[in-house]
Every structure is written in C-alpha cells, then in structure tokens.
Amino acid sequence: MNLTLRVWRQKNANSPGRFETYEARNILEDMSFLEMLDVVNEELIQRGQEPIAFDSDCREGICGMCSLVINGIPHGGRRGTATCQLHMRHFKDGDTITIEPWRARAFPLIKDLVVDRSAFDRIIQAGGFISVNTGGTPDGNAIPVPKPDADAAMDAAACIGCGACVAVCKNASAMLFVAAKVSHLNLLPQGKVEKDRRALNMVRQMDAEGFGNCTVTGSCEAVCPKEISLSFIAKLNRDYGLATLKGK
C-alpha cells in the first residue's frame, strides 16, 4: 500500500515546529507502524535528508517508549494496543496519516516526535518503591494475599508508563499513571507499611511536575494500551484522602 504521512518535525524545544509531508510507498500490511516509519527513514537517509526522530525500544508493547499520536489519538486508537503493536493492515491504501508527539507541558519536546518523560521517573522516585527491610526472601506462601487483592495489584502493575493517559487528557493529568503505580504496591501486604507516605509523596510530586487535574472524563482509560481501569484513580483518591487526614 501507498500512504501519505503528515509528520510533526521540530529541531528542538526552542525551534518552531511544522508538519512535513512524506510518501510511504510499498508498505506491507503486516508491518507494524514503527516498521513503516523505519522504511520511510531509510528512504530519507538514502536521499541525504534528516530521518524522523521517534522513540522505540522493545517493540513488544512492554517498555512504553512508542509515544505517538496517530490521527489525533495516542497509539492510534486500537483498544489495548501500543503503537509498536499497531499494524498497517488497519489502514487503507491511499490513506493520509497524521503523526504527532505527546503534547503536555510536563513532557517537553526533545526533537520531532520524541518527548522527555522523565517527570514519570521522578514521580516513581518519590514513592513508587518498597524500602522496608524484610530480611531474607520469604517463602512464596508465607504471606497470605487474598486473590482479589493479588489480581487487582497485577492489573495495576501492568501499566507501562507510556504517557498516553497524559497525552489524551484535556488537562494533561497523570492520575491514571500515578494511581496504577501507587495501587499495585498499596494493595499488597509488603507495601502497606509505607502506604500513606507513598500516596502523599507521589501525588505531591505529580503536582510539582505540572500535570493537570483529573476531571474523570475516561479518555485515559480508553487509550491506555494496558487498559488500566479508572477504578484505580478512585482508590488513589481514597488512599490520598486518608493519608491527609492522618497528617502523614
């Protein structure tokens, strides 16, 4: 298939950006979206032009690096699908595809389609860990965990930190990301010792990074490639509220 791409090009955060038009020719329907961009970049390099900068790593829907807004929707709008898992068979010959970076104040642009998401790293550093000394490695069955709690913790831990929730939110809120990272530890016995401090510190860091407020439109859940539930935001609000009342 042959496609027309409208790609956001921007040298750096201080330079003006613009859409550039490229032709993607002889694209196979079994290619992933990133493989299609690889083909376009190879042609650009052969012509002596600057290739399109975009993030990728594992290309298996695990690392969360593939941060592209495709036709106005983060990751392209296929349910439970990251950009690297999006295949060209979902497009038609002759389509025009618009490709943009995540757009949020807390995700400053680096170049073209690449943004700096280190704000997420700083939120994790604020409390997304367990520092309690538990001694030697306990037996797997030594600490009973109710199955509903274990299942919910695993669902929250599925978050890959891609930032699609921020990119799609009209307020650029990071609540779904923070809620998942707080909840998957707070639900388990090992994480309950630092439960209050974790909720307070991570929410405070989120606010300090400049993310917007959550107004629960549900757009974040709709584009999340791991389908993280809005129910985790409700849990975070409860955990944060209780921690505030305790004055931790």
What would the pLDDT profile of 13-34 be if each residue is shown by its tens digit?
Answer: 999 999 999 999 999 999 999 9
Indicate the SS3 state at residue 31. coil
- For residue 235, give the amino acid letter: K
Question: Domain 3-110 is of which CATH architecture?
Answer: Roll (3.10)
What is the pLDDT, as a whole number, of residue 132?
A: 78
The DSSP code sequence of 10-26 is: -SSTTS--EEEEEEE-S
Query: Is 248's pLDDT higher than 70?
Result: no
What is the pLDDT, as a whole number, of residue 81?
A: 97
Contacts of 183 (CB under 8 A, 6+ apart): 152, 153, 156, 232, 235, 236, 239
Query: Is 245's pLDDT higher than 90?
Result: yes
Find the distance separating the first CA and the last CA of the chain, reported in whole Å. Answer: 59
Nearest-angstrom CA–CA distance, 79 and 77: 6
Whole-structure pTM value: 0.94
Mean pLDDT of 37-42: 98
Domain 117-246 matching CATH 1.10.1060.10: the answer reads yes
What is the pLDDT, as a whole number, of residue 3?
A: 98
What is the pLDDT, as a whole number, of residue 125?
A: 97
Of 48-62, 121-135, 163-177, give the lowest mean pLDDT range.
Answer: 121-135
What is the pLDDT, as a whole number, of residue 133?
A: 75
22: its two tokens: 């490229």
Mean pLDDT of 38-48: 97
Q: What angle do CA 9, 13, 17 make, to 5 degrees?
A: 30
Domain ranges of the chain: 3-110, 117-246
Task: Give the tens place of pLDDT for each residue, 196-231.
Answer: 999 999 999 999 999 999 999 999 999 999 999 999
- CA dist list (Å): 238 to 6, 199, 229, 232, 235: 43, 10, 15, 10, 5
Nearest-angstrom CA–CA distance, 230 and 217: 10
Indicate the SS3 state at residue 97. strand
Residue 140's pLDDT band (cuts 50, 70, 90): low
Are 181 and 159 within 8 A, CB to CB? yes
Nearest-angstrom CA–CA distance, 219 and 170: 9
Eight-state DSSP code of residue 137:
P
Are 33 and 84 within 8 A, CB to CB? yes
Mean pLDDT of the chain: 95
Nearest-angstrom CA–CA distance, 82 and 59: 9
What is the pLDDT, as a whole number, of residue 142?
A: 79
